[in-house]
Structure 1
Amino acid sequence: MTEHLTVVEHPLVQHKLSLMRDKATSTAEFRRLLREISQLLAYEITRELPMTTQQVETPMEMMDAPVLDGKKLALISILRAGNGLLDGVLELVPSARVGFVGLYRDEETLLPVQYYFKVPDGLDDRLVIAVDPMLATGNSSAAAIDLLKQAGATNIRFLCLLAAPEGVARMQEAHPDVPIITASLDRCLNDQGYIIPGLGDAGDRMFGTK
């Protein structure tokens, strides 16, 4: 663990991740597990949200009850696989604003190509959580964070299911101010830029496209 990287080692997170790694796990089961694990990871990434109090009348008496302070979160899905994490986090924080960054990886250069960008207003006043299941080369993630900063975001966290050391290093170099929360730091990338041992292509497994 470093200040830049947090690996969530909760037993439920690790158990569900192992089920997701299994190539025999069906598309429907993979989606269900991704939604569940995203909620568990969301507990970690929102641990230090600012709090205030407001008066609440319980059946017994008035009290100053703790509530979230400040503007609502902004959740940014890095398309397309980010939507699997987004759905689970939104169930936990349904009032969050939502944005999308469309990037795909050129299979020859492994560099990101942008095709869509739509985010909420006022990112400078919000905690912005970018979600993408896989932090592989880190090129797409770093490019997405570049775009969010250009749109005004200053308080950004990155949530992923799996990370490769190469991707963590790339993000730390490009965006040392952006903490990464993940369920696992895997061994390495292969020649095609896929995480090893990994779980394959998260988007294909989630949407059944391969």
Structure 2
Amino acid sequence: MYRNSNSLLPVQYYNKLPKECHIDCAIVLEPLINTAGTIIATVAILKVWGVSQIKIISTIASKDGLKDLFAKHPDVEVIVAAIDDTLSESGVIVPGLGDAGDRQFDTDVHHISENGGNHKRKHSEE
């Protein structure tokens, strides 16, 4: 599951859940809960599959994202290290910590330098 950066909607690109569910509890690791669209969709998929108890572990979540998640799925348990107040117009947590996928896979990211210049570099160059 990932979030389309233009529409901010979740996209399921891979699902290999078995036909039958033989578990009672699923623990979902979600690095960041921004708009919560992807985690809301993931929880819905797990519920349809038959999971009765879902726990989410995250590093940072936005207040709005948590509000939306609990509005759709009030029965999930969320463990989060920090909650930030603001989402940018592009659906990114502010101040946040950047793109978790870029950090995990060491992909190119855009940085704005102190003089306002925009350049790309890998996280490993920081």
TM-score by length of 2: 0.79
1:141 aligns with 2:35: no
Aligned residues: 108
Provide, for residues 70-123 of structure 1, a one-character-per-residue CA deviation record: whole Å limited to 9, x for no partner: xxxxxxxxxxxxxxxxxxxxxxxxxxxxxxxxx121222101111111235764
Q: State how far apart, in whole Å, the 2-side matches of 1:191 and 1:135 are.
A: 15
Q: Which runs of 5+ in 1 are unaligned?
A: 1-102
Task: Using the TM superposition, give the Cα deviation of residue 182 of structure 1 relative to its aligned residue in structure 2, in angstroms.
Answer: 0.4
The residue identity in structure 2 corresponding to 1:170 is D
1:169 aligns with 2:67: yes
The structure carrying a bigger strand percent of its residues is 2
- Which of these residues, 83, 99, 102, is aligned with residue 204 of structure 1? 102
Q: Which runs of 5+ in 2 are unaligned?
A: 109-126
1:158 aligns with 2:56: yes
* More relative contact order, 1 or 2 (CA 8 Å, 6+ apart): 1
- What percentage of residue pairs aligned between the two structures are identical? 39
8 Å contact kept, 1:135–1:168: yes
RMSD: 1.5
Call closer, same or farther: CA 1:144–1:166 in 2, change over 3 Å: same
The structure carrying a bigger helix percent of its residues is 1
Matching residue of 1:126: 24
Provide, for residues 106-151 of structure 1, a one-character-per-residue CA deviation record: whole Å limited to 9, x for no partner: 2221011111112357645432101110000001100000100111
Matching residue of 2:78: 180
Structure with higher Rg: it is 1
Matching residue of 1:189: 87
TM-score by length of 1: 0.49
Q: State how far apart, in whole Å, the 2-side matches of 1:131 and 1:121 are.
A: 22
Call closer, same or farther: CA 1:168–1:141 in 2, change over 3 Å: same
